[in-house]
Amino acid sequence: MSTPRAFVAGLVHETNSFSPIPTNLQSFAAETVHGAGAPYRPVAIDTMGYGQFATLCQAQGIEVRAGLYALAAPSAPLQARDHAAFRAEILDDLRRALPVDRVFLFMHGAQIAQGCDDVEGDLVEAVRAVVGPQVPIALELDLHGNLTARMIENATFVVACLEYPHTDYPERTQHVYTLLDRAARGEIRPLTLAWRIPLLGIFRTTEGPMQAFVETLRRAQAEPGMLTISAFHGFPLGDTVHTSASLIVTAERDHAADAQAIGERLSGAFIDAALRAPRPGSVDEAFDEALACDRWPVVMADSGDNPGGGCAGDSTWLLQELLQRRVERAAFGMLWDPVAVDFAHRAGAGAQLRLRIGGKVSEMSGPPLDVDAEVMCVRSDVRQARFGQGEPMDPIGRSAWLRVQGVDVVLASERTQVWEPRCFTEHGIDLSASRLVVVKSSTHFVNGFKGVAGHVVFCDSPGSLCLDPRRIPYRQLRRPIYPLDTGFMPMATPLGQFDPRRADS
Ligand SMILES: [Zn+2]
């Protein structure tokens, strides 16, 4: 082929099998770009790795043909007919784009559709069937993906971000760009090995044993012959037979023995770090810790109701706790309640209202609270910076700041996690004067609240993102798995190997 030509597509959804929020085409509407297999053109929304990869290619004179990009906030499994429509659109786009000498797919790794528990593996297999065995394909994923043999057998490279919060996507996309370019030029002959690591958990990489493990992984990736290494934490709320942590090593083919040794060593280090990683406290433990701390503001994660993990974002458990404990100078956000937001907007700033807030979507939301509220501020234009970095591009919809019994409560009409302080400060709330700020997020807020939070507390609150696997009603999960099965210690087992003969054929 004369001019190199890339095909790029993205379908991104982290699926929570236990989420009360249904998922269909409409869930993706705000972040959908129909590429139609035509030359890539930048768009106004943040398309993450999809847009970055295309831009990197164009800067190097590589022609880019654009496939569908569609992202939805985490929620329940996608309806079967909508999954079929997305899949068909991407494959049609690809056929229009042919011939291509490289393919980049930006996905999550934990997407489930009705009738398909491995959306990524299914798509990359179909893409492989279209492009044939020679064209390198890269699949860039979230480290919360549940890795499958089908992904590895069909993609040349499967690469996850390494950090949680996911602050390293730009770095990883650049890394994937380089790998794909070298493979397309025939400079490297990759071989992939992977291990399933039967454990469940949510692990921050900003501190402690998991931070040290990521440093170890980065050093191993720089060793001779290694091309790329990723550690998948897995997504515990996706109920599939693939759900677990995993480790994947891609190396030059003549370094297979080194890759095997490095993979086994890293799998052991990953297990060791996961077993020693801190786990979030109960509601009582979290509040006791937060109220005993004098480094204000203490920022507390309402992990169990994180919209970023498929939750409704309207649970009232921790707001009730704030009100019952009569915590003064507290802030709470964002409660997803379009109806209450509408009432606040109609009433306007300064109004006093008797209002029912939160607790509407499912039994995991807790009871609605009937409160006397003062409307402090209403807005329709507040946006947040995703992962707490870059320009604020993610809208929170219509929003309102209510004061309820001395607590500053932010309500929003869009269901979204708290990435950073703007959802409070844009309304005029001074967080430096707050004692305790409760945010609906698990970990991603940590980056955005750097320099704001005096101390951070993680609370395993009730909800559909419960972090204690013993309280999750699994049906598909493969057992035994840590920490669900008492007395079981996780050991890495081979997950699969890319068939080297195919690339030789
Ligand atoms: Zn993630």
> Given the structure tokens 């079967």, which residue do they identify?
80
Going from the Cα of 441 to the center of ligand 1, the distance in angstroms, rounded, reads: 12
Are 340 and 208 found together in one domain?
no
Long-range contacts of 126-130 (CB under 8 A, 24+ apart): 126/87, 126/91, 127/90, 127/91, 127/94, 127/103, 127/154, 128/154, 128/155, 130/91, 130/94, 130/95, 130/98
Ligand 1 center to 166 CA (angstroms): 7
Q: For residue 7, give the 3-state DSSP assignment.
A: strand
- State both tokens at 244: 């677990």
What's the total number of domains in the chain? 2
Cα separation, 350 vs 294, whole angstroms: 32
- Distance, CA of 69 to CA of 90 (rounded, Å): 9
Q: Are residues 233 and 358 part of one domain?
A: no
Among the ranges given (275-279, 379-383, 451-455), the one the predictor scored with the smallest mean pLDDT: 275-279
Rg of the chain over Cα atoms, rounded to whole angstroms, equals: 23
Lookup: tokens for 368: 């609605």
Instruction: Answer whether residue 486 is part of any domain.
Output: no
Q: 279 pLDDT band (50/70/90 cuts)?
A: confident
Instruction: Give pLDDT tens digits for 241-250.
Output: 999 999 999 9
Going from the Cα of 61 to the center of ligand 1, the distance in angstroms, rounded, reads 32
Does 465 map to a domain?
no
Q: How confident is the model at residue 460 (pLDDT cuts 50, 70, 90)?
A: very high
Give yes or no for residue 505 having a pLDDT over 50: no
Residues 10, 64 contacting (CB under 8 angstroms): no
Distance 149 CA to ligand 1 centre (A): 20
Cα separation of 112 and 79, whole Å? 9
Note whether 79 and 72 are within 8 A (CB): no
- State the pLDDT confidence band at 499, using cuts at 50, 70 and 90: low
Clarify whether residues 267 and 311 are in a common domain.
no
User: Whole-angstrom Cα distance, residue 301 to residue 456?
Assistant: 8
Domain-embedded: residue 248: yes
Question: What are 33's strand-pairing partners?
Answer: 69
* Residue 468 lies inside a defined structural domain of this protein: no
Q: Is the pLDDT of residue 193 over 60?
A: yes
In the DSSP assignment, the letter for residue 296 is S
Asked whether residue 56 falls in the same domain as residue 80, the answer is yes
Q: How close is the Cα of 23 to the center of ligand 1, in Å?
A: 18
Task: Determine the Cα–Cα distance for residues 56 and 173; give it in Å rounded to an integer.
Answer: 9
Ligand 1 center to residue 228 CA distance, Å? 19
Full residue range of the structural domain in which residue 139 is found: 5-277+492-504
pLDDT range class, residue 498, cuts 50, 70, 90: low
Mean pLDDT, the chain, as a whole number? 95
> For 52-69, what is the mean pLDDT?
98
Q: How far is the CA of 143 from the centre of ligand 1 (A)?
A: 6
Pair (207, 101) in one structural domain: yes
The answer to whether residues 366 and 26 touch, using CB atoms and an 8 Å cutoff, is no
The CA 271 to ligand 1 mean position distance, Å, reads: 19
Ligand 1 mean position, distance from CA 110 (Å): 9
Measured in Å, residue 234 CA sits from the centre of ligand 1 at 9
Shared-domain flag, residues 254 and 402? no
Tell me: do 134 and 190 sit in the same domain: yes
Q: 348: CA distance to ligand 1 center in Å? A: 37
Confirm if 9 and 94 have CB atoms less than 8 A apart: yes
Token pair 């190199």: residue: 4
Same domain, 237 and 314: no
Rounded mean pLDDT of 437-466?
Answer: 94
pLDDT score recorded for residue 486: 85
Residues 126 and 262 in one domain: yes
Answer whether 196's CB lies under 8 Å from 492's CB: yes
Cα torsion through 475, 480, 485, 489, rounded to 10: -150
If you write DSSP's letter for every residue of 273-287 in order, what string do you get?
HHHHS--PBPHHHHH
| pLDDT mean over 298-315 | 95
Count CB atoms within 10 A of the CB of residue 115. Answer: 11
The mean pLDDT value for 289-300 works out to 97
CA of 504 to the centre of ligand 1 (A): 35
**For position 471, what pLDDT does the model report?**
84
In this structure, is residue 146 part of a structural domain? yes
- Residues 86, 11: Cα–Cα separation, whole Å: 8
Give 160 Cα–ligand 1 centroid separation in angstroms: 10
Residue with tokens 């430096």: 432
Q: Are 94 and 37 in contact (CB under 8 A)?
A: yes
Give pLDDT tens digits for 378-431. Answer: 999 999 999 998 999 999 999 999 999 999 999 999 999 999 999 999 999 999
> Dihedral of CA 333/335/338/342: which sign?
negative
317 found inside a domain: yes
DSSP element (H, E) containing 145: none
Which region among 83-87, 266-270, 305-309, 465-469 has the lowest average model confidence (pLDDT)?
A: 465-469
Q: What is the 163 CA–ligand 1 centroid distance (Å)?
A: 9
CA distance 73 to 364: 18
Cβ proximity of 384 and 326 under 8 Å: no
Those residues whose C-beta lies under 8 Å from the C-beta of residue 408, and which sit 6 or more positions away, are: 330, 331, 332, 376, 401, 402, 424, 429, 434
Mark whether 225 and 186 lie in a shared domain. yes
Handedness of CA 28, 30, 36, 40 (dihedral sign): negative
Number of C-beta neighbours around residue 114 at 10 A: 14
Cα of 148 vs centre of ligand 1, distance in Å, is 17
- Specify whether 135 is located in the same domain as 172: yes
Q: How many angstroms separate the alpha carbon of residue 164 from the centre of ligand 1?
A: 7
Give CA–CA dist 295/465, Å, rounded. 28
Sheet holding 190-197, edge to edge: 226-232, 245-252, 190-197, 493-497
pLDDT tens column, 12-60: 999 999 999 999 999 999 999 999 999 999 998 999 999 999 999 999 9
Same domain, 293 and 269: no
